[in-house]
Structure 1
Amino acid sequence: MTRADALVTRANQARVRRLVGALAVTTTVGYGVLTYAFSVLLGPMSRELGISPTTAVGASTTAVLVSGLMSIPVGRWLDARGGRGLMTSGSVLASVAVLGWSEVQSTAQLYGVFVAIGIASAMVLYPPAFAVVVAVAAPASRTNAILTITLVGGLASSIFLPLTGHLVHGYGWRTTLVLLAGLLAVTTVPLHLFAVRRIASRPVLTGQRTGAPARVLRDPGFWLLASAFVVHSAALAVISVHLVLYLISLGHPPARAATLAGLLGLLSVTGRLVTSLSARWLPMATITAGILLVQGVAISLLPVVGRHIAGAVGCLVLFGLGFGVSSIATPAILLDRYGATGFGTISGMLTTPTTIAKALGPLGGAGLAEALGYRPLVLTVAMACVVAAVALALTRRMTPRRVTKM
């Protein structure tokens, strides 16, 4: 490599690092405002609008479903045109939607705003950020880049839940949304506009896997992979919504139950680090299958030992290690299996069903808990984790056919 080539390589690496830093900030703010703030705003918003919390939560569920349905078209756009225009437009839409949220006066207006939030979420959160990174980063640095974004993004709840709470206490929920919309606009719009535009997509090299993204639909391993993440996403969503109530039913006071449930978010960052470090020695699908199996065993023991603090902590620590693993595992497994060509679309094909499962899982969990009780619900979650682990392990035995370049 000549001196000039080395200088160009270092300059490109510096640009990718700036891009990763920018996307780490935008996804953190995006998740904080578009996802986590809702739980703090739910009570005062529902009371002022005169609607039940269940009706209000339906708006949030609508946003999640819309985001999932938008995943494939967003992925196709990213593959064809890159991320600058799409992510910048998504940031503008998100800011306007949150500002509109502050002005809603009826249930219909609330749901309309959350349709827009769902569209914007599909354009600015993890999946498009990962697709942009995959398109521009060197293969050896993609996993670390994705890990960096998810580690910073994992702090969104820790930052925005208390921040939103203080703002609501001091200014009310409507003014809080105006302030959050402003924060979203001044951080995400310029970062997407200026950081993403400097990066050109890496050329497809000889020997890379090529072909239309639809080729994955002919791979039985993709359907196993999709089944694993769909089942696991639904299981995690059920635990996210119902864990506090189950811990209370085991005899823990509400404050302690909430604190114990908070272990899941804290341990998710640790789980991502463990997953990334283990990827140096083992395939990502194998690592993820092992973590999901540990989750299944841990949550199955919660009904047995969860009445004691030590037992509950032990189960939730082990379960929490896998709470955020899919964020880093999904792109890594897809890259390992199918390469970078068409990554945005392929990722969207997987994101759509997993997002829908995440939205609908808690509803099914509520029905099961009402009919049979929380213990069968928790054991069902444990079985779902084990099934997902087995499905992921089996994908290693199914090597996709490579498309030969003509």
Structure 2
Amino acid sequence: MSTTDRRSAVPATGRGRSTGGRRIVAALSVTQTIGYGVLYYAFSVFLRPMTAALDASGAQVTAALTAAVLTTALCAPLVGRWLDAHGGRALMTAGSVLGTLAVLAWSQVTSLPQLYGVFLAIGVASAMVLYEPAFAVIVNWFDGNGRANALLALTIVAGFASAVFLPLTGLLVDRYGWRQALVVLAIGYGVTAIPLHACVVRRRADPAAAARPPAQRADLVRAAVRGRPFWLLVAAFTAHSGAVATIAVLLVTYLVRLGHPPVFAATVAGLLGVLSVTGRLVTTGLRRRWSAAPVAAAVFTLQGVGALLLPLAGRTVAGAIGCVLLFGLGFGVGTITLPHLLAERYGTAAYATLSGRVAMFSVADRAAAPLAAMALAQAAGYGWVMAAVALACATAALALLAYHRR
């Protein structure tokens, strides 16, 4: 273990670990909320003014965000290997610096190539600072129910990122213009995330892990990826990620097409964020009595039913709300279920590496699925899109049930 690792590592037992754990969860809750708000959700508010300023189409500008998400997916395996070998402190601090500089550069772009270059940097930064590395830090620090509670607390707080940053960004754009708004957001992110990652994030001291050579960790990864259970997890969470992303992008548009006023459609879609918190709370409670995989499979099945019923019942107010309620209960369940399943089956020594392998597929599908859904909607109609979403949820549920049997 290097000198830096010794300084940042904390003993695995005693009050120091408990206090340090609470500080880590609190710090990461703040940095994840601000990180998702600035690096991801704020983009939708900037879309219209950027389109006008760059003299580009909405599709051309939106392609920048798609490129960022795909870059995050490509970086995930490398980030995972680093986290397993070195922990999250240096990586997340460097990612915060990169994210701050990238958002500042975003405020100065004058052409599409510059915008795409900035968002490639944002994609790299996102891989270094958002959920995957944050979960790896928590999985390394906590065990058992403590881990479940820590992940739940983190995702509940961060789940309000869109609710906070969409209106906040709108106010900044309205008052200062989009370029100055980005400068404000960049500075706010930098002065918050950089010191919190540098000063609070720690790695739990584990003598057994410190003595484990990198080759042994690589053997653990190879053994995992050669087995069918790992690929069942990949299939489940890739399919589910695509379904969730599709609904997130297309729900408002589809509700309007079903005859609902835009304000009603946006309000109902806004329930997804609140319901994601509810779903996480319910799932965590049920997991204390039943295994995580069947619980998540049941929730994913309910989501599929909600998507399948939306074309049939969604023209009425009650039907639309009911279908969104069914789908929304599982909106954030995948986020907290995957870390539990990976750590439960494979341990924590190579958790981040394996999580990065899964993320490479699931995050890429998060970027690609809405584009494919838009094409399907134009070719065959939104009813077929909802059927495809239901099929993806069913696929995820069946994969988790097959995983549970092995």
* TM-score, scaled relative to structure 2: 0.93
1:325-345 CA-to-partner distances (Å, cap 9, x unmatched) read: 111011011111211111110
Does structure 2 conserve the Cα–Cα contact (< 8 Å) formed by 1:272 and 1:324? yes
Q: What RMSD over aligned residues (CA atoms) do the two structures have, in Å?
A: 1.7
Does structure 2 conserve the Cα–Cα contact (< 8 Å) formed by 1:63 and 1:116? yes
CA distance in 1, matches of 2:238, 2:247: 15
CA distance in 2, matches of 1:229, 1:236: 10
1:308 counterpart residue number: 316
Deviation of 1:202 (Å):
3.2
1:32 aligned onto 2:37? yes
CA distance in 1, matches of 2:343, 2:105: 38
1:6-405 aligned at under 5 Å gives the runs 9-197=14-202, 199-204=203-208, 211-398=219-406
Letter in 1 for 2:263: A
Deviation of 1:138 (Å):
3.2
Q: Secondary structure at the match of 1:161?
A: helix
Seen in structure 2, the aligned counterparts of structure 1 residues 195 and 373 have a Cα distance that, compared at 3 Å, is same
Give aligned pairs, total: 390
Does structure 1 conserve the Cα–Cα contact (< 8 Å) formed by 2:93 and 2:194? yes
Letter in 2 for 1:365: A
Deviation of 1:7 (Å):
12
Q: Secondary structure at the match of 1:396?
A: helix
Seen in structure 2, the aligned counterparts of structure 1 residues 7 and 28 have a Cα distance that, compared at 3 Å, is closer
CA distance in 1, matches of 2:27, 2:53: 37
Does structure 2 conserve the Cα–Cα contact (< 8 Å) formed by 1:79 and 1:345? yes
1:318-361 CA-to-partner distances (Å, cap 9, x unmatched) read: 11000111110110111112111111101001011000000000
CA distance in 2, matches of 1:305, 1:369: 18
**Structure 1 unaligned runs (5+)?**
1-5, 399-406
Does structure 2 conserve the Cα–Cα contact (< 8 Å) formed by 1:82 and 1:201? no
Letter in 2 for 1:40: V
CA distance in 2, matches of 1:139, 1:260: 36
Deviation of 1:15 (Å):
0.7
Does structure 2 conserve the Cα–Cα contact (< 8 Å) formed by 1:298 and 1:319? yes
Does structure 2 conserve the Cα–Cα contact (< 8 Å) formed by 1:85 and 1:193? yes
Deviation of 1:11 (Å):
1.7
Does structure 1 conserve the Cα–Cα contact (< 8 Å) formed by 2:73 and 2:364? yes
Deviation of 1:97 (Å):
0.2
Deviation of 1:247 (Å):
0.9
CA distance in 2, matches of 1:287, 1:7: 31
Deviation of 1:296 (Å):
0.6
Does structure 2 conserve the Cα–Cα contact (< 8 Å) formed by 1:135 and 1:202? no
* TM-score, scaled relative to structure 1: 0.93
Seen in structure 2, the aligned counterparts of structure 1 residues 274 and 70 have a Cα distance that, compared at 3 Å, is same
Letter in 1 for 2:238: V
Letter in 2 for 1:123: M
CA distance in 1, matches of 2:12, 2:237: 41
Q: Secondary structure at the match of 1:104?
A: coil
1:293-323 CA-to-partner distances (Å, cap 9, x unmatched) read: 0111111111111111011101101110001
Seen in structure 2, the aligned counterparts of structure 1 residues 200 and 182 have a Cα distance that, compared at 3 Å, is same
Seen in structure 2, the aligned counterparts of structure 1 residues 380 and 185 have a Cα distance that, compared at 3 Å, is same
1:267-311 CA-to-partner distances (Å, cap 9, x unmatched) read: 011001111111101111111000000111111111111111011
Which aligned runs of 4 or more in structure 1 are off by greater than 4 angstroms? Answer: 208-211
**Overall identity of the aligned pairs, in %:** 51
Letter in 2 for 1:374: Y
